[in-house]
């Protein structure tokens, strides 16, 4: 269970996140939506320790993890992906995921074993499940945009997270790619019993897989509930959905 309470972040007088609270119960799939600049990415960065909040706290299974370093948070079972694709471009697809396994299993300090054979089976199995097994030997930078997004998901999953935060996992994808990616994410989340929290622009995607939706506007939560509740919410219709429908 991930609890976020009253997070506040101010940049030079600009209130990016102004007192956001939300809960992500274990095993649930939740979405955070809101117009550009609503504070979604900042909120993610606050939760994952990338930024230190000015106020408020983040609790993971009752333990206060507010503002701890990303590498420590990883160890506690929080994985994340980034809005702008964020991989190790000049390593192969295999090496990318293998590095995540090595790091997560605490083998990074080992200086004397040849790296090639370590976690080979685990890496290949994970690549299989994210649909990249056939491209294991390719340099990651040469993957398509969708492929790189898949790889990023692989990096996050190699850490065997209990909580997975995905920042616009389908950004820049075509409609078909988006549907496939979402189906993949949903399947993986269900299989592994992940607590999933993601941000997304595509409303169809959001309403099709989320159990809970949190709507941000100008750094504040204006609605929080099931997809049906959010769809009916007046404030949401006015500031957000109204722009599109």
Partner 1 sequence: MRARALWGPLVFVAALLVPALGSRFYTFLANDVIIWALFATSLNLLVGYTGLVSFGHAAYFGVGAYVTGILMKKLAMPFVLAWPAAGVFGAACALVFGFFCVRLTRIYFAMLTLAFAQIVWAICFKWNELTGGEQGMPEIPYPDFGWIERVGASVPLLSWRTAEYFYFLTVVLVAACLWVLHRIVSSPFGRMLTTIRENAERAEFIGVNVRRYELAAFVLAGAFAGLAGGLFGIFNRGVFPDFAYWTKSSEVLIMTLLGGMGTFFGPSIGALVLILLNQQIVSYTEYWPLVLGVVLVVLLFGFPGGIAGAVGAIIGRLFRRARGAEVRGA
Q: Which residues bind partner 1 (CB under 8 A)?
A: 48, 69-71, 74-75, 79-80, 82, 86-91, 95, 98-100, 102-104, 107-116, 118, 155-156, 158-159
Which residue lies nearer to partner 1 by CB, 13 or 114?
114
Residue number with CB closer to partner 1 (116 or 191) = 116
Q: Which is nearer to partner 1, 113 or 176 (CB)?
A: 113
Sheet with 2-11: list strands edge to edge: 14-24, 2-11, 55-60, 63-64
Nearer to partner 1 (CB atom), residue 103 or residue 129: 103
CA dihedral 217, 221, 226, 227 (to 10 degrees): 0
For residues 88 and 207, which CB has a smaller minimum distance to partner 1 in the complex? 88
User: Minimum Å distance from CB 104 to partner 1?
Assistant: 5
- Give the nearest distance from C-beta 91 to partner 1 in angstroms: 6
Minimum Å gap between C-beta 216 and partner 1 is 22
Measured from the CB of residue 159, what is the shortest distance to partner 1 in angstroms? 6
- In the complex, the smallest distance separating the C-beta of residue 117 from partner 1, rounded to whole angstroms, is 11
């Amino acid at each position: 269970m991930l609890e976020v309470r009253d997070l506040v972040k101010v940049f030079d007088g600009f209130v990016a996140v102004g007192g956001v609270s939300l809960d992500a119960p274990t095993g649930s799939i939740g979405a955070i939506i809101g117009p550009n600049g609503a504070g979604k990415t900042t909120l993610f960065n606050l939760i994952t320790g990338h930024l230190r909040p000015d106020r408020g706290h983040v609790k993971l299974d009752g333990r206060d993890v507010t503002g701890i370093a990303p590498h420590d948070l990883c160890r506690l079972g929080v994985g994340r992906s980034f809005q702008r694709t964020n991989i190790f471009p000049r390593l192969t697809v295999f090496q990318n995921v293998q590095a995540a396994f090595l790091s997560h299993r605490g083998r990074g300090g080992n200086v004397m074993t040849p790296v090639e054979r370590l976690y080979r089976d685990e890496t290949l199995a994970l690549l299989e499940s994210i649909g990249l097994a056939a491209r294991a030997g390719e340099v990651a930078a040469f993957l398509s945009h969708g492929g790189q997004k898949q790889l990023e998901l692989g990096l996050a999953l190699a850490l065997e997270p209990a909580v997975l935060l995905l920042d616009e996992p389908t950004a820049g994808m075509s409609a078909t790619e988006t549907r496939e990616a979402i189906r993949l994410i949903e399947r993986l989340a269900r299989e592994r019993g992940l607590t999933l929290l993601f941000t997304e622009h595509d409303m169809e995607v959001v309403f099709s897989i989320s159990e809970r939706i949190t709507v941000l506007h100008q750094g504040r939560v204006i609605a929080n509930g099931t997809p049906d509740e959010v769809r009916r919410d007046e404030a949401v219709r006015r500031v957000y959905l109204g722009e599109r429908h």
